A and B are shown apart, each in its own frame.
Chain A
Amino acid sequence: MDDGIARMGEVVFSGPNLPELRALGLGSCIGLCAFDPSTKLACLAHIVLPQARTKDTDEAGKYADTAIPYVVKQMTARGANASRLRFAIAGGAQLFSFPGSDSQLDVGRRNIEAVKELLADMNLKLVGEDTGGKSGRTVTFDSQTGEVLVRQAGGSVAVIAVLS
């Protein structure tokens, strides 16, 4: 669907008629925003899990380790320059507390760690983040201004990064 909304495992790109991208109600998932300031091309990936079982998955957007290379490749193919790309991330919350559960089950935290490690490994610039905690988040990404706006459940709204 071309409504600029990244659903679970989806990657969406801005376009002439699609200046705003959104990911609604992220819990443990991560919303990864990528922006090329000179072309004003914006991309939002709704990452679900840290690691794909196989690299040749046809659902590249779902896993951190396949989504990030996919985003870079797609943005480059659309005229962006990989070295100019700027990133922001939001999400990775743990809504439920599981008595007796260990950190293995904290998918939110594992997602955050995986995304950050991969961005660092690929020398990609992470400019802002709003991660962890216990609340869900909605990300709104404006490709005109490069602003990444995060609304948390309960109402607090903040610009977490300006990627331009």
Chain B
Amino acid sequence: MVMPRESKADNPRNNRDTSLANFMTVAQFGVKKASEALRLMSASAVRMDVISAGVSPTSRLSEVAGNPEDLVIGVYIGVEGDMPGHALLVFPFECALVLVDMITGSPLGTAKHVDEMEQSVLQEVGNIVTSSYLNALSDYYRCTLLPTPPSLAIDMAAAVIDSMLLNTGRFEEETISVVTKFAGAKRSLRGFFLYIPEIV
């Protein structure tokens, strides 16, 4: 069961379905909202699609981003409040550069390194995606969700995902996750948004 820490389900006006199945529906709606925000931000160049939502073996999550040793950019955002969770955006290195160009409206191939400017663009993408997603969740569950400032790492895919999973403070056999793929309208763009709610 996924529930706000201080359950408001006792209040008939807040009688929301807090089952896992329903959480997945709400989460998918959240991704739709995040996708809309990203399309606005990128002038329709980038969208997001849910590829899996549900309970899966935790050890398999590190394979989400592909080859464990591939260089990726990870943007981690913790979620505090009534229903804590963890959000992670993962982009293969080359795709992160493409994304930066799409967001800044620069010709593709402009961004060549991930320096301060590129980092802040990617962190901003993390902020927009995560807060739109959280808004949908908090509207539905009528709870407060507060994203922490984004933290960025450039490292091996498996290392980025294991660091995120371990910093959830728990490491269970199975994890509830929502995995979303980013796609570019004109250019191929791989990337993932992973959301893991803490289970109360």
Task: List chain A positions with a Cβ less than 8 A from chain B.
Answer: 7-9, 24-29, 48-49, 59, 62, 93-99, 105, 107-108, 134-138, 153
B151, B159, B173: the one contacting A93 at CB < 8 Å is: B159
Query: Which of B25-33, B68-76, B103-111, B185-193 sits within the interface?
Result: B68-76
B58 proximity list for chain A (CB < 8 A): 8
**Is the C-beta of B166 less than 8 angstroms from some C-beta in chain A?**
yes
**A48 & B158 in contact (Cβ 8 Å cutoff):** no
Question: In the bound complex, do residue B69 and residue A95 qualify as a contact, i.e. CB atoms below 8 Å apart?
Answer: no
Structural contact, B162 and A98, CB atoms closer than 8 A:
no
Complex partner residue of A98 from B74, B154, B167, CB under 8 angstroms:
B167
Query: 0/1 per residue, B149-186, Cβ < 8 Å to A?
Result: 10111111111111110110101010000000000000
Is residue B120 within 8 Å, beta carbon to beta carbon, of the partner chain?
no
Main secondary structure of the interface of B (DSSP, over half): mixed
Tell me which residues across on chain B come within 8 A of A105, comparing CB atoms. Answer: 167, 169
Chain B residues bordering chain A, tally (CB within 8 A): 30
Report whether B167 and A8 are in contact in the complex, using a CB–CB cutoff of 8 Å.
Answer: no
Min Cβ gap A131→B in Å is 14
Q: Say if the beta carbon of B148 comes within 8 Å of chain A.
A: yes
CA distance A62 to B166 in the complex (A): 12
Residues in B with CB closer than 8 Å to A137 are 156, 159
27 contacts between A and B (CB under 8 A): A7-B62, A8-B59, A8-B162, A24-B68, A24-B156, A25-B62, A25-B157, A25-B158, A25-B159, A25-B162, A26-B158, A27-B155, A27-B160, A27-B163, A27-B166, A48-B162, A97-B151, A98-B78, A98-B148, A98-B167, A105-B169, A107-B166, A108-B166, A136-B158, A153-B154, A153-B155, A153-B156
- The residue of chain A having its C-beta at the shortest distance from the C-beta of B149 within the complex is A99
Closest Cβ of chain B to A78, distance in Å, is: 25
